[in-house]
């Protein structure tokens, strides 16, 4: 547990911290279902103890039972409002910390960010299951605001202090002790954070995706920070011809993609692939992170080529304007509108290979050149 230093007894807390603690102990009481936890006041010399006690209340492991129970007991509307209130409280705490009002505020914010933020992120993900509720205009606006605030709240550290990034794979997932379901809970949470208006049909669900990713570990990579938090990822799947045809026609939903519909790209052959996701969290969208993301993709495609597995065609659903820009930048061409949402882009991998991103890997280009020549001779 992080050490939190108290405000010295001769210090008077600023007004925003007094308001903060008043709100925090109310939140702690609700989270613990009014279980008799001692209530501290936020007046004068007691503010350090009050801040510590109330934040520890929220950091208690029982917060997960709150997250699961709150939706069941009170419904999505009350849970959304409650989540908004918590984010407002911690935004206030972050402001106090960044403005230098109190070392206590900075310490507690970092403690919360390390111990509690994940539960609020999962609460936001849980809310996405209530599609009808989120179609209401007021709920849609509030949910978008909450999601953006959660993505932005981050740490009190400056951008210069952001953790260094590295590429992660299935070995990192196993080292963390995660199951496929744990991984997919996190990846789908990220999808909902960065893609506005995403639906279950478009995102899929953890129990559907987990076997696909764990069966085919060379179809995805993670971008991890120094704390092993996922800052971004990419994922594609090879598809059998009938499924790839549906993808190109804008008829495929990601929810339909299950292990039986994904060929083993680990075996030698030519494959049509569908890009499921590629993206970075907002705090990491700089040239260094983007290059690391795409370099890892090139490295995996090269590794597959060394094993005799080659890509013939690529297809993607550009769900946002940023996605459209990325597809165009990689040399994909517009095919049609998706029947639900998005724009379908596709291309032969040979045309994509001509882009400098791939062309600068000379060994990869040489491997594909030999493979194409060999296939042409075989066909003759």
Determine contact, residues 91/153, Cβ cutoff 8 Å: yes
- Helices and strands: H and E segment counts in the chain: 17, 7
Q: Are strands 220-224 and 269-280 parallel, antiparallel or unpaired?
A: unpaired
Give me the CATH code for the 165-380 domain, please.
3.40.630.30
Which carries the bigger pLDDT value, residue 313 or residue 164?
313
| DSSP code at position 320 | S
Q: Exposure of 59 by Cβ count < 10 A (0-12 exposed, 13-18 middle, 19+ buried)?
A: buried
Confidence of residue 332 (pLDDT cuts 50, 70, 90): very high
| Token representation of residue 182 | 């744990």
Using the predicted structure, report yes or no on whether residue 23 has a pLDDT greater than 60.
no
Instruction: Give the rounded percent of residues in the chain with a pLDDT score beyond 90.
Output: 37
pLDDT for res 49? 45
What pLDDT score does 25 carry?
A: 46
Q: What is the pLDDT of residue 100?
A: 55
State yes or no: pLDDT of 210 exceeds 90.
Answer: yes
**pLDDT grade, residue 224 (50/70/90)?**
very high
Instruction: Write down the pLDDT at residue 17.
Output: 43
pLDDT at residue 304 is higher than 90: yes
The answer to whether the beta carbons of residues 143 and 127 sit under 8 Å apart is yes
Q: Between the ranges 34-38, 96-100, 195-199, 290-294, where is the mean pLDDT highest? A: 290-294
Residue 225 has pLDDT above 50, yes or no: yes
Name the percent of the chain lying above pLDDT 70: 58
| pLDDT for res 297 | 95
**What's the whole-number mean pLDDT along residues 192-206?**
82
Q: Is the CB of residue 30 less than 8 Å from the CB of residue 54?
A: no
Burial (Cβ within 10 Å: 0-12, 13-18, ≥19) of residue 10: exposed
pLDDT level of residue 48 (50, 70, 90 thresholds):
very low
Q: How far apart are CA 139 and CA 84, in angstroms?
A: 12
Task: State yes or no: pLDDT of 236 exceeds 70.
Answer: yes
Higher-scoring residue by pLDDT: 16, 304: 304
Instruction: Say what the pLDDT of residue 2 is.
Output: 32
Token pair listed for 170: 């299935």
- Top mean pLDDT of 53-62, 76-85, 215-224 is at 215-224
pLDDT of residue 107: 60
pLDDT given for residue 155 in this prediction:
52
What DSSP designation does 60 have? S
pLDDT for 40 equals 30
Residue 27 has pLDDT above 60, yes or no: no
Split at pLDDT 50, 70, 90, the class of 114 is low
Check pLDDT > 90 for residue 373.
no
Mean pLDDT over residues 326-339, rounded?
A: 94
Residue 270 has pLDDT above 50, yes or no: yes
Give the residue extent of every domain in the chain.
Answer: 1-156, 165-380
Strand 220-224 to 343-348 pairing: unpaired
């Amino acid at each position: 547990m992080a050490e939190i230093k108290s405000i010295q007894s001769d210090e008077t807390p600023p007004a925003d911290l007094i308001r903060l603690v008043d709100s925090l102990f109310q939140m702690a009481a609700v989270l613990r279902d009014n279980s008799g936890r001692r209530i501290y006041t936020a007046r004068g010399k007691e503010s350090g103890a009050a801040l510590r006690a109330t934040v520890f209340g929220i950091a208690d492991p029982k917060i997960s039972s709150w997250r699961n129970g709150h939706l069941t007991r009170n419904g999505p509307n009350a849970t959304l409002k409650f989540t908004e209130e918590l984010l407002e409280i911690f935004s206030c705490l972050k402001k106090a910390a960044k403005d230098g009002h109190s070392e206590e505020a900075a310490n507690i914010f970092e403690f919360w960010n390390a111990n509690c933020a994940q539960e609020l992120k999962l609460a936001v993900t849980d809310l996405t299951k209530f599609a009808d509720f989120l179609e209401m205009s007021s709920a849609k606006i509030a949910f978008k605001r909450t999601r953006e605030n959660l993505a932005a709240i981050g740490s009190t550290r400056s951008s210069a202090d952001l953790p260094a990034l590295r590429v992660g794979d299935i070995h990192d997932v196993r080292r963390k002790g995660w199951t496929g379901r744990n991984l997919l809970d996190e990846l789908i949470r990220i999808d909902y954070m960065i893609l506005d208006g995403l639906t279950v049909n478009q995102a899929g669900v953890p129990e559907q995706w987990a076997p696909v990713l764990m069966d085919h570990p060379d179809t995805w990579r993670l971008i991890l920070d120094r704390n092993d938090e996922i800052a971004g990822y990419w994922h594609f799947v090879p598809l059998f011809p009938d499924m790839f045809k549906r993808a190109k026609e804008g008829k495929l939903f990601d929810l339909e993609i299950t292990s039986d519909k994904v060929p083993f790209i680990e075996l030698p052959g030519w494959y049509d692939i569908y890009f499921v996701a590629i993206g970075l969290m907002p705090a990491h969208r700089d040239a260094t992170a983007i290059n690391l993301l795409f370099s890892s993709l090139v490295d995996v495609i090269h590794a597959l080529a060394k094993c005799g597995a080659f890509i013939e065609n690529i297809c993607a659903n550009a769900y946002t304007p940023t996605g459209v820009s990325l597809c165009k930048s990689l040399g994909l061409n517009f095919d049609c509108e998706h029947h639900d949402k998005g724009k379908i882009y596709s291309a032969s991998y040979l045309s994509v290979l001509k882009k400098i991103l791939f062309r600068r890997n000379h060994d990869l280009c040489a491997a594909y050149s030999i493979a194409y020549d060999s296939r042409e001779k075989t066909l003759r």
